[in-house]
Amino acid sequence: MSMAARRVFSLAAALCLLGASAPCQAAEPAADTAPAGGLTAGSLLVRGRVIGSIPVGQYSRIEPIGGRVITPARALPDLDVTYFLSDHFAVAAQAGVVSTRTSIRGSFIGDLPIGSTWSFSMTGAVQFHFLPGNAFNPYLGAGAGYTHPIAYEPAKPFVTKMKADPQLGPMLQAGFDYHLVGNWYANMEIKKIFLPAQVSRIGAGSTTVRLDMLIIGAGVGYRF
């Protein structure tokens, strides 16, 4: 070994001994700094919420006794599943069974209960997520909502028979997910379903009801 080579080797050894904070070995690749549980392509997010279902823009016509149909707001549990097709685009779906209790106000024969209708309800939407890699991730969505009556509870003895038509209407939604810890997210969402007029048979009479549904909810989600 030449004198120059021995000097270079000695210098390298000294640096290894003195530079404890910088070990003489190949540098490790930088660790991934993306937040744990980030929402990316292939993510499956299951959300559970408590929602308020609020009728808006309500109009009704009742034959032959007049008056108006009242559909009250109600609180309901809600569960949806969202699958990320890409980092920004996702599809979301929700299904369940809901009960709607209605009554008649201001008819020729006074105020009357109608009864309850149990319906299968489902919504589907395509969502655009603005900041999927961030803790705060707002999104917008568009899709449709569908309800199909499956059972009735008439308010006897005033009403003995009920029947309603299925409804299908467009839906718009906006919301956000906020990363809490690990795979857990907080969620808030608002959506509006634009429903067509619904024709119902109540005994020997009929009602035509036009309303939209405003749905506001908050809850938590888990990413798989």
Q: Domain-by-domain residue ranges, the chain?
A: 38-223
Q: Output the pTM of the full model.
A: 0.77
Task: Report d(CA 41, CA 138) in Å as an integer.
Answer: 16
Tokens of 74: 């109600």
Which residues of the chain fall below pLDDT 70? 1-37
- Neighbouring-strand partners of residue 143: 125, 171
Q: Can you give the pLDDT at residue 46? A: 97
Q: Can you give the pLDDT at residue 156? A: 87
- Is there a contact between 106 and 66 (Cβ–Cβ < 8 Å)? yes
69-96 burial code (b ≥16 CB/10 A, e <16)? bbbeeeeeebebebebeebbebebebee
Q: What is the dihedral of CA 56, 197, 194, 220, to 10 degrees?
A: 70
Tokens of 25: 């070995």
Q: Can you give the pLDDT at residue 36? A: 55
CATH class given for the domain over 38-223: mainly beta
Q: Can you give the pLDDT at residue 150? A: 94
